[in-house]
Structure formats: structure tokens, C-alpha cells
Amino acid sequence: MDSMAEISLNFSPASLRVLNLCIAFIMFGVALSIAPKHFRLLLKHPGSILTGVTSQWIVLPAVTFLLVLLLRPPPGIALGMFLIAACPGGNVSNYFSLIGKGNVALSVSLTAISTLASVVATPFVFRFWGNLYGPTADLIQRIDISFLDMLVQILLILTLPVALGLLTARTFPGLTERIAAPIRHLSFLILLAFITVAFYANSQQFVLYIHMVFGLVFLHNSSALISGYLLARGTRQSVEDCRSISIETGIQNSGLGLILVFTFFSGQGEMALVAAWWGIWHIMAGAAVAWFFSRQDRRKGPTPQGAIG
């Protein structure tokens, strides 16, 4: 039986448009915080940037593939896991890096770089790993997802709002300095409110099927956080950088994942459930990890923020 047909979330075209606007507003807010100094880090501190990018686009998808091979979830759930692993970092990672006493400048830089790279990286990574696993390769072939269509969709959702944010920051620096932080906080609250409303509207479906994804999302997200930290430690990054790379790897733009599910998969199946639950869970997990990191410095005194910025 094709279990993807058994689950259908209550998500209207109007809801999809609202979600698109939410993500666009979030990306606009992210762009307001991007400064030339964040890209100069590529020259000044290439090791931490390279480690973060490697963790995001190579290690996380590979760890996801190993989890799928080990746990053998239904194809729809596995494809949802591959999609989440192919999404760029979420902007709330910057907030958690601040709370967790990580390197905030590095976190913002990695969010910016992964967001810009996602136009090409997300469809490529998703198709590459999805086609590498037999059951999901069959599913992708059946649905016939166009690489170009997905690229255009991501371009519209992410790149245009980011370009507008960068233009605003360059043209109105004084205004940008005043509104950047409030917009970041507001965009997070808007997305959180949207997820809460969507969760309430689909509460019966979540209750019926949450057992299918709760443990998998927990393991997937935990693996992302741990693998990011271990990779950073293994490449001898600073403690602050390790924290930010861990958080950046574990906080994914699940809102983008949901948009892609409802755009290319008609919003049916375990994929939507994985993306929706990840969007809820990674906020709780990110908060818990940030709190844990912050506790480690209690006896050491304050840790400098944004040291490499």
C-alpha cells in the first residue's frame, strides 16, 4: 500500500500563499543582518566557514542517508528526511547561537551563505541523495520532479527577498540598523504562530500519525546537532565556533521544506508530516542545546560574541 496517500494535511492554497509570504519575510529579515564583513570571513577565517558549509551540505545529507539505510522508514518519510537535509539553515539558528554563547557572526555568515547556495544546492542535494536510495528513487521517478522547477521556486522564495533585504541594507543603513532586530524577532513569531495554527488545524492527523515520525525526527535532528559539533571539534575549531556550527546544522529551514512538499507533492504523505514536525521540534531542540551550551560557561565568565565578525 502507498502510505503517502493515507495522510493528507489540511493545507489550502491560501495557506500555502501565507507560508510563502512568511518565508519571504523571514529571508528579508535575514538579509538585513548580512554585512560585507560576513563574507570577508571567507578570506579571514576560511576554516570555520568551510567546516560549517561542509557540515550543512555534505555531512548532514550523508548522515541522513545512513539513518535511512539503518532504520528503513517508509519511502515517503525517507524522502521527507532527505528534503529537510537539503534545506538551508534557519534564521532562528542565529538567535540560538547568541543564547548558547556561540559565535554569532559565524552563525549569521553560515545562514547567509547556505541561503544563497540553496538555490542550486537544495534541488541538487535532494535529488542526489533521494535517487541514491532505491525506494525514494522510485518515488521521485513516479512524481517526476523537475530540477529546474524546484530551482525556480527556491529562487522566488529565497533569493528575491534576500536581494531586496541586501538592497535595503545598502540604501538605508540607518533604517536597517533600527529595524533589523525587530524584524528578525517578528518573523520568528509569525512563523511560530503559523506553525501553531497549522498544527491545530491538523491536530487529528498529527495525533494519528505522530508515532511514525516522532522518533525519526528526534534521531535525525540529534544526529545533525551532534555531527556538526563533532566535525567542528575534529577540525579544531574554537568552542564558540563548534557551538554555532552544531546549531546551524541542526536548525533547518523547514518552512521552505513545507512549501516544496505542498508545491511538488500535493501536500500528501509522510513528507509533509516530517517537515511539519521538524519545524516544531527543532525549535525545542535548539532551545535546549543553546541552554546546555550556555550552562557550560557559567564558571568561566562571559564569552565574547561574534568574535570573528
235-287 confidence digits (pLDDT tens): 999 999 999 999 999 999 888 888 888 888 776 677 888 988 888 888 889 98
Separation CA 83–CA 37 (nearest Å): 31
Looking at per-residue pLDDT, the higher value among 242 and 114 belongs to 242
Q: Does the pLDDT value for residue 126 go beyond 80?
A: yes
196-250 confidence digits (pLDDT tens): 777 777 777 777 777 788 899 999 999 999 999 999 999 999 999 999 999 999 9
Looking at per-residue pLDDT, the higher value among 187 and 88 belongs to 88
Least confident among 28-37, 39-48, 186-195, 293-302: 293-302
Domains of the chain are: 10-296 (1.20.1530.20)
Tell me what percent of the residues of the chain surpass a pLDDT of 70: 88
pLDDT of residue 158: 76
Give exposure, 79-117, as e/b (b: 16+ Cβ within 10 Å): bbbbbbbbbbbbbbbbbbbbbbbbbbbbbbbbbbbbbbb
Least confident among 86-95, 227-236, 284-293: 86-95
Residue range 83-109: mean pLDDT, rounded:
86
pLDDT of residue 155: 79
Separation CA 54–CA 125 (nearest Å): 13
233: buried, middle or exposed (CB in 10 Å: 19+, 13-18, 0-12)? middle
Looking at per-residue pLDDT, the higher value among 28 and 44 belongs to 28
What mean pLDDT, rounded, does the chain reach?
Answer: 82
- Structure letter (DSSP) for residue 304: P
Q: Are 244 and 97 in contact (CB under 8 A)?
A: yes
Q: Does the pLDDT value for residue 43 go beyond 60?
A: yes
46-64 confidence digits (pLDDT tens): 889 999 999 999 999 999 9
CA–chain centroid gap for 205, Å, is 24
Give exposure, 125-149, as e/b (b: 16+ Cβ within 10 Å): bbbebbeebeebbebbeeeebeeee
The kind and range of the H/E element at 149 are helix 147-154
pLDDT of residue 5: 46
pLDDT of residue 306: 45
pLDDT of residue 4: 45
